[in-house]
Structure 1
Amino acid sequence: MRSWLLALLTLLAACAGPSPNEVPLGYVAPAAFGRTLTLTQQITVVAMGESRSFEAVVAIDPERIDLAALAMGRRMIAVHLDAGGLREDRSPLVPEAVSGARILRDLQLAYWPREALAAALPAGWSVEEGAHSRDVLLNGATILHIEYSGEPRWRGRTTLEHRRFGYRLTIDSEEA
């Protein structure tokens, strides 16, 4: 089990390292989501030819966001965002390069309203949407491509492809 956890954490670290290609999104206010919601998720990360999965629970209300990432039934990362800022609690098994804040950022890029994201991004960055997709662009070039299987967008399968970092998240969500 320990070797499986270390393999998962190494894969997550590979797609989580700092880079000038990072989408410079600050934390978007929980209230901007527009509703109270709790999701259970199965997240599969594909990077460097490897695929690993973990579970997550995300609770959103107008005052805060709580996210817990679990591997093999063990909590590896807990993230809390409210008016006081972001707090992250992590297992000692989690490499420094793995960021719960980055997981939260990807979830916000996938699920928060386009208008809230566009307002939080600096000049040169934009968000475009189709019926079942969203693109986050830098000077017209797609950095993130997101596809949705249903409505509302957080229900069912979401696929997020980071074209510059070379990773893909497949997120299967259910309302709890």
Structure 2
Amino acid sequence: MTGLIDAATGRPPVFMAVFFMMLALLTGCSALQHKEIAGEPVALPIAPPTGPARHVVQQLTATWTDRQETLVCVLELDGRHIAMAGLTNEGLSLFNLSYDGHTLTADKSPLLPDAVAPEFMIADLQLVYWPVAGLEKILPAGWRLEAGPNGRILYHQDDKKVEVRYLSPDAAWPRNVELTNHQYHYRLNIKTLSYDVLPE
């Protein structure tokens, strides 16, 4: 697979805005992606990579009671590898993440605060898009995932923690999705700007 930043900048420009406050909150509050130990969020293992090979650009808009922020994620993934990048409007790389199913590598710009961990962000996307069987393998005891053609619901015991609604259902990759995190009180709207299947 080609380098993610090269692949991203080699395509037509995508207008994006990365807001540090949104990143900091998203990286610390997805119910799927962390558990708290001594009050600190700890990332669960990322679900294994899954094919087919794809290059995806998505706009993520998060809404809280008092504000709304937008960012764009650029993903390349296949059955052996996950790569994720964030860029400023000027094309400055803010972070790169790479995962081969065994080793996670993250390269962050000094401009990002230490609290920002891109691996947390990918967990929300995996909850939306990854095969249910793969997600169930990484859920800790007491958590369960219910899935249907129009959405998914993540429970802890009997409490609904995260709800996913596919606004434009698609078997391969739903293009418009709404994720509601009931535990941390935010809504994430995901709009796929481009979706390209890559040669293996």
TM-score range, shorter chain: 0.7 to 0.9
Correspondence for 2:22: 11
Shift of 1:153: 5.7
CA contact (8 A) 1:144 1:160 kept: yes
Correspondence for 1:125: 143
Which letter does structure 1 place at the counterpart of 2:195? Answer: E
Correspondence for 1:144: 162
Correspondence for 1:168: 187
CA contact (8 A) 1:14 1:47 kept: no
Q: Which moved more, 1:99-108 or 1:39-48?
A: 39-48
CA contact (8 A) 1:54 1:70 kept: no
Correspondence for 1:79: 97
* Per-residue Cα deviation, 1:94-120 (whole angstroms, up to 9, x for no partner): 112222001111111111111111121
Correspondence for 2:46: 27
Shift of 1:140: 2.0
Provide TM-score, normalisation by structure 2.
Answer: 0.75
Correspondence for 2:71: 54
CA contact (8 A) 1:57 1:68 kept: yes
Shift of 1:35: 2.0
Quote the sequence identity (%): 29
Q: Can you give the 5+ residue segments of structure 2 that lack an aligned partner in the other structure?
A: 1-16, 36-43
Structure with greater strand share of residues? 1
User: How many residues get paired?
Assistant: 169
What is the DSSP-based 3-state SS (H/G/I as helix, E as strand, rest coil) of the residue aligned with 1:120? Answer: coil
Provide TM-score, normalisation by structure 1.
Answer: 0.84
Which letter does structure 1 place at the counterpart of 2:113? Answer: P
* Per-residue Cα deviation, 1:13-56 (whole angstroms, up to 9, x for no partner): 134336988545421110xx342221111111223522121221
Identify if the C-alpha distance between structure 1 residues 22 and 66 changes in structure 2 by more than 3 Å, giving closer, same or farther.
closer
CA contact (8 A) 2:175 2:191 kept: yes
Shift of 1:130: 2.3
Q: Quote the Cα distance in structure 1 between the aligned partners of 2:31 and 2:56.
A: 31
Q: Quote the Cα distance in structure 2 between the aligned partners of 1:19 and 1:114.
A: 17
Q: Does 1:111 align with 2:129?
A: yes
